[in-house]
Amino acid sequence: MNASRHHKPANSGSARFKQGMRALTGGVTIIGAYGPDGGPVAMTATAVTSLSAEPPSLLACVNRSASIASALKARKRFSVNVLAADQIDVAKAFGGQLDVRGTGRFIYGNWRRVDDTEVPVLTGSRVSFECEVSHVHDWATHHIVIGTVLDVHFSLAKTQSLVYADGSYIALG
C-alpha cells in the first residue's frame, strides 16, 4: 500500500468544502426571531433539517456571529419558514444579497406575529414552524440549535418550494 497516495490532509480547506457543498441541493428557509433589543431579525438559511417527529423537532445551524444567534439566545422562540418558489426576492433580502439592512429587510415578505408567543412568521411561505430552543451545541464557528416545534402554520401559497443548488435559487414547478 502506498501511504502517500492515500494521504488525506486533516483539513481539506474551506474553499474545496464549499465547492463540494454546491452539489448538495436543499430547501431554503428563513429563520426569524425577535432580538434582544426588541427588533425582529431574520436570516436565510439552508442548513436546516428535520430531526424527530416524537417530539416534533428540527435542527438549524447558524453562525455565532449572525444577529439571529443572539436573538435565539435572548428570546428562545423562533420560526423556520420554508420558502415558496415566488419568494426568491425574500430569500435574497435576508441572505444579504440586496441593498437592505437590519429591520429594513422586513419590507420583503409578509411578516406576521403569532398572537401568544409573538414569534415572527413569514406568511406566504410554504409552511412556518414555530419553535422553542431546546438545546444549543457549539461547533467551531456555529451554533447547532435544536428547536422543539410548538406549532405548524400552513399557508395558502399555491406555489412549489424554492431550492438552492449550485449557488443559485431555483423555483420548482
Partner 1 sequence: MSQLHPLKGPNQFKLGVFSSNADGGLAVTDVPERWRARWDDNLTAVGIADRAGLEFFLPIARWRGFGGKNHVREWSFETFTWAAGLAAVTKNIGLFMTVHVPLVHPVYAAKALATVDHISGGRAGLNIVCGWNPDEFAMFGAKPGDDAYGQAAEWVEVIERCYGGNQPFDFEGKHYQLKGVVSRPASIQVPRPLTMNAAFGAPGRDFAAKNCDFLFSSFSNIEDGRKHIADIRARSRLQGREVGIYTVCHVVARETQREADEYYERYAVTQADQAAVDNHMAQRKEFANAHDEDACALYRKRFAGGAGTYPLVGTPEKIVDDMIKISREGYAGSALTFVNYTYELPFFCDRVLPLMKQAGLRVV
Nearer to partner 1, 20 or 104 (CB): 104
Residue closer to partner 1 (CB basis): 123 or 134 = 123
Q: How far is the CB of 38 from partner 1 (least distance, A)?
A: 3
DSSP string, 65-120: TSHHHHHHHHH-EEEEEEPBTT-HHHHHHHTT-SS--GGGGGGSSEEEE-TTT--E
Phi/psi of residue 2, nearest 5 degrees: -90, 105
Query: What's the min distance (Å) between Cβ of 111 and partner 1?
Result: 4
- Shortest Cβ distance from residue 35 to partner 1 (Å)? 8
Q: Which is nearer to partner 1, 122 or 164 (CB)?
A: 122
Applying CB under 8 A, which residues contact partner 1?
34, 37-40, 99-104, 106-107, 109-113, 115, 118, 120, 123-124, 153, 155
Per-residue b or e along 62-72, where b marks 16 or more CB atoms closer than 10 Å to that residue's CB: beeebbbbbbb
